[in-house]
Structure 1
Amino acid sequence: MTARSMRNSTAPKFRKSRSSRFAAVGALAVAGSLLLTACGDQTDSGSKEKGSGDKKSNSAPLFNKLPEKYQKSGVIKVGTNAEYAPMESVENGKIVGVDPDIAAELGKKLGVKFEFTSGSFDGLITALNTGRHDIAMSSITDNKQRQEGLDENGKKLGKGVDFVDYFLAGTAVYTKKGNPEGIKSIADLCGKTAAVQRGTTYEKALQTQSKACKDAGKPAVKIEPFENDTEAQTRVKSGGAVAGVNDYPVALDLSRKADGGNAFEVVGEQIDAGPFGIAVNKDNTALRDALKEAVDAIIADGSYLNVLKKWGAESGAIDKAAVNGGK
């Protein structure tokens, strides 16, 4: 869900990229979250075993940058919504993908384990700010609305969060394989049904396009929001919606893998490219700054790009981390 300029001094410098994913986090109650207990705390970076939280013995280069709480526990608790391959998804009861693998590399620099727990996407920031998680890492688009804790109408809902930007992504339109309606871009959805996950930035992208349709004297987009993205995909696959809207790397992964590449196809170019950020409580500035240093460290040593290449997501690579670089 509008293009955001990355030209301010705090914005990351991006590699050549066409990758795109906008994911918004709503302020719904955590009680509504659907925790995937089978995949909580099960990533390459997460472990039930507490890390070696001994300041004197830990040899990780950025260990001493962490607040004492994490040095002692050896663990950073991560909230995610594991439904967005290749960024984060569940395979054989384990959370895998770009974000868990990046977190594993960050853990090597910081000397701690990152333990992922999956829940409802629209409850992640609420869970973070109530202390259930230390960070949220779930392909979350960094923008001013989330930084300032505002709803889509500009009403203050909470204190917001800080972001450490680590990836560039935008919004893509995908259709049933063969594109039976001949959709070429999001502008072709006027008067047509489109499926989307509720509470995301790409739902907002559809709302923006629907208004543009009406302003041009055309029928509005018939937006069908679903609780999770799998339901939206099913709606497109069945023909009930002519298209779905999703993050570019997610839509691309769907087109390549769903039903052996025979279920969906991506149409047009990505839109509204902007940064994904690791969300951190605004009061936890020391953790935020340690994470930024760690992102820069894995970019510098090449392990960051290796992770992206592993998952076919290297087009979203950045050259430098930023704090609150989104617009």
Structure 2
Amino acid sequence: MTASTTRRTTAARSRIAAVGAIAVAGALLLTGCGDQTEGSGGSDTKESGKTNSAPLFDKLPKDIQNAGVLKAGTNAEYAPMEFQEGGKIVGVDPDIAAALGEKLGVKVEFTSGNFDGLITALNSGRYDIAMSSITDNKQRQEGLDDKGKKLGPGVDFVDYFVAGTAVYVQKGNPKGINSIEDLCGQPAAVQRGTTYEKALQDQSKKCTDAGKKAVKIQSFENDTEAQTRVKSGGAVAGVNDYPVAVDLARKADNGNAFEIVGEQVDAGPFGIAVNKDNKQLTEALEAAVNAIIEDGTYKKILAKWGAETGAIDKAVVNGGK
């Protein structure tokens, strides 16, 4: 598992690099699948002579009504947003998805794969949605790479959270890093294909434009590898989505491994990605997000995971810039 305020334009796991621009669907490494969230059953349809009492069931496309399942792709290594525990995918996103499933009358089943292949897999039909702390931005909406080249059809987003980018360092901050601007000429670790990798790239250019040395960006396949690099001293800092960095600082080695420095930057929305041809599903999800905001379920979920700073007041479609 964005840039952040970028696991994850939290000003946070935020992810700006185009998801799916690097990997193809066949490269997905499925690490967890099946019933990972709890929702009300939704397979009974009017055509079969039965009805579903969920308030937003009728808004769903017929194929999803008939299946009773909403298939979701994620990258489950981005606590507290989505991660694996006891053989299940848990976290902020799975809990929100379960609440959306209750409103829609279907189960939401998560499968974990490589982050940078999620949108490709979504558009190939492997998933109905991708929900993985994905930063909503124009680049992803339009299917562009970081140079503006058209790579695919893009996706629509239903925005449900806000996060920015944060810098974390070893506990005690031995290298005296106080902000992302202090990373000029320094090695910094990050997950590949994320918005915070893009944030580092942008900062590196600012460094060289100012006559300083470029950031020595160390990009890894997953966020755990980046964290390990910082912990071992191989990088002076890591960059991540703000809520993920906060969770990491609180929990790693009982709070003794890392600390956050400076303020989160480049805050932007996380969105549920949907195929652009599936406008009906996008509208149903927008209505469901607003429903859990209105009944208080949404804020209870964020409070459970200590992610209240990312709360929004209303769902937006394609609100990213």
> Shorter-chain TM-score category?
over 0.9
| 2:101 is the alignment partner of 1:107 | yes
Q: Evaluate the alpha carbon distance shift between residue 325 and residue 148 of structure 1 in structure 2; reply closer, same or farther with a 3 A threshold.
A: same
Q: How many residues align?
A: 311
Q: TM-score, normalised by structure 1?
A: 0.92
| 2:296 is the alignment partner of 1:283 | no
Report the secondary structure of 2:95's partner residue.
Answer: helix
How far 1:42 moved relative to its partner? 3.6
Cross-structure match for 2:15: 23
1:179-198 matches, cutoff 5 A: 179-198=173-192
How far 1:31 moved relative to its partner? 1.8
1:1-327 matches, cutoff 5 A: 20-24=12-16, 25-27=19-21, 28-36=23-31, 39-45=32-38, 51-55=42-46, 56-327=50-321
How far 1:216 moved relative to its partner? 0.7
Identity of aligned residues (%): 73
Assess if the C-alpha contact under 8 Å between 1:173 and 1:266 holds in 2. yes
Assess if the C-alpha contact under 8 Å between 1:46 and 1:116 holds in 2. no
How far 1:53 moved relative to its partner? 3.0
Can you list the C-alpha shifts for 1:147-185, whole angstroms capped at 9, x where unaligned? 000000000000100000000001000001111001100
How far 1:26 moved relative to its partner? 3.2
Assess if the C-alpha contact under 8 Å between 1:88 and 1:95 holds in 2. yes
Report the secondary structure of 2:306's partner residue.
Answer: coil
Assess if the C-alpha contact under 8 Å between 2:4 and 2:241 holds in 1. no
Report the secondary structure of 2:58's partner residue.
Answer: helix
Where do 5+ consecutive residues of structure 2 fail to align?
Answer: none
CA–CA distance in structure 1, aligned partners of residues 35 and 280 of structure 2: 26
Report the secondary structure of 1:183's partner residue.
Answer: coil
CA–CA distance in structure 1, aligned partners of residues 293 and 57 of structure 2: 18
Q: Evaluate the alpha carbon distance shift between residue 112 and residue 283 of structure 1 in structure 2; reply closer, same or farther with a 3 A threshold.
A: same
Assess if the C-alpha contact under 8 Å between 1:211 and 1:220 holds in 2. yes
- Runs of 4+ that moved beyond 4 A: 1-5
Can you list the C-alpha shifts for 1:63-122, whole angstroms capped at 9, x where unaligned? 000111111110000000001100000001100000000001001100000000000000
AA matched with 2:184:
C
CA–CA distance in structure 2, aligned partners of residues 263 and 51 of structure 1: 44
How far 1:21 moved relative to its partner? 4.6
Where do 5+ consecutive residues of structure 1 fail to align?
Answer: 6-17
Assess if the C-alpha contact under 8 Å between 2:82 and 2:91 holds in 1. yes
AA matched with 2:36:
T
Can you list the C-alpha shifts for 1:264-293, whole angstroms capped at 9, x where unaligned? 111100000000000000000000000000
Q: TM-score, normalised by structure 2?
A: 0.94
CA–CA distance in structure 1, aligned partners of residues 189 and 44 of structure 2: 46
Report the secondary structure of 2:37's partner residue.
Answer: coil
Report the secondary structure of 2:190's partner residue.
Answer: strand
How far 1:32 moved relative to its partner? 1.7
Can you list the C-alpha shifts for 1:188-209, whole angstroms capped at 9, x where unaligned? 0001000001111100000000
Report the secondary structure of 1:220's partner residue.
Answer: coil
AA matched with 2:45:
D
AA matched with 2:33:
G
How far 1:57 moved relative to its partner? 2.0
Assess if the C-alpha contact under 8 Å between 1:26 and 1:151 holds in 2. no
CA–CA distance in structure 1, aligned partners of residues 235 and 101 of structure 2: 41
AA matched with 1:294:
A
